[in-house]
Structure 1
């Protein structure tokens, strides 16, 4: 299984427990035609129609907008297990561009297929809705970064977001992780100059909090980095679906001829279990 396929399943399973028909529905998206896309390529262009959806199997991309004078604002990052164009059927054109940050492998699907697979699997539909809400919350945190946090707080928060998102997908080695993100990209995300980003990263390294070298990063002191950023993972929504929602999905699944087992698989209510 490709890292991105496993990462997508791990991510969605934070919210809803999948059964066989749910996995089959998800696989129908992942098993679409695979495509290799080189670094620096726009796979989505602002203002153009959504022609294909993409499940990222390997590599990273970034969503961005460009001003008339060429200045760029990076809005969000997409990594293995993320989906580009999830709700393309409800949008006539792309509202932002998406560019590859390194060589990318994707599984492509027609936007209308999302409607088909979610009708086959209520659990998958709920989980994809959760994923969309999660993206909204991440974007809100990026807005707070640009609007109110200091340079050190912005950088610390962004690296903690990277680590937390990769961790739940099984893509970290302890507090070590790989990110194809240059200082220019960080600057365009956080509204800072490249010089300011470089200075801030050196300060965090000198303080024994965070090490970043090219595409490698190590969180040296997690507690101090979290304290500096005021970081909480609440915005990532890394928790099980509420009990009432899971029961409603179970009832719908039974009505549509699903397996009929409880959503948690063994009859236990997982809402009280620790977060992932």
Structure 2
């Protein structure tokens, strides 16, 4: 399984367990046409038609909006296991650009293909809905960063978010992680000057809290970094689906939660009868 495909599976499995047919449905989405997009190019461009969806298999991208004078606001980061244009048909045109931060490999899918795989796998459809809600919550935290947090709090919160997102996908080495994010990109994300970002990163390093060098970052003191940022992972929605929702999904595809197997394990109910 490709790293990006495994990352997507790991991310979605936080919310709900998959049966074999769900894995097959997800694989059919990922095994579609692949495309390599070099660094510095748009996956989608603001104002242009939005006809395809993309699964990030390798590399990083950033969703951003650019003002007429060239100033840029980065809205969010996309890493292996993330999806661009999950609900492409909702908008006739892209409302933001998604630009590659390094060389990116994507799997493309059409809205029709998405409808087909989610109709085969209600559990996958629910998991993708959860992923969309998660992106909304991440964007809300970025708004709080820009609007209310201090420079040190913003930087600390962003690095903790990226580390947490990479960790659940199996893409970190303990508290060390790789991010293709320059100080200019951080500045465009947090509404700070590059000078302010540089000064803040040096302060965090001198305090023995966070070290960032080129594309490598290491959390030196997790507790202090979390305290500084006021960080909680609640906004990442890293929790299991409520039992009522799992039961409803099970009823749609002929599975049931096995009460003897423990939370999250499912078995096919081959002897189900209509009550």
How would you bin the TM-score normalised by the shorter chain? over 0.9
Q: What stretches of structure 1 of length at least 5 have no aligned partner?
A: 255-259, 272-276
- TM-score by length of structure 2 reads 0.94
- TM-score by length of structure 1 reads 0.94
Contact 1:50-1:88 within 8 A present in 2 as well: yes
| 2: CA distance, partners of 1:58 / 1:174 | 20
| 2: CA distance, partners of 1:266 / 1:58 | 39
| Counterpart position of 2:262 | 268
Q: CA RMSD in A?
A: 1.3
Compute the displacement of 1:261 (Å): 4.2
Compute the displacement of 1:139 (Å): 0.1
Compute the displacement of 1:112 (Å): 2.5
| 1: CA distance, partners of 2:145 / 2:181 | 17
| Counterpart position of 1:215 | 215
Compute the displacement of 1:111 (Å): 2.5
Residue-pair matches, total: 265
Distance 1:104 1:265, change over 3 A: farther
Q: What stretches of structure 2 of length at least 5 have no aligned partner?
A: 266-275
Contact 2:73-2:189 within 8 A present in 1 as well: yes
Match status 1:230 vs 2:215 = no
Contact 1:89-1:112 within 8 A present in 2 as well: no
Contact 1:50-1:111 within 8 A present in 2 as well: no
- The Cα offsets for residues 32-69 of structure 1, whole Å up to 9 and x where unpaired, read as 11111100001101111113211101000000000111
| 2: CA distance, partners of 1:4 / 1:208 | 32
What is the SS of the residue equivalent to 1:112?
helix
Contact 1:210-1:219 within 8 A present in 2 as well: yes
Compute the displacement of 1:267 (Å): 4.1
Compute the displacement of 1:265 (Å): 9.0
| 1: CA distance, partners of 2:99 / 2:52 | 14
| Counterpart position of 1:274 | none
| Counterpart position of 2:144 | 144
Contact 1:11-1:81 within 8 A present in 2 as well: yes
What is the SS of the residue equivalent to 2:62?
strand
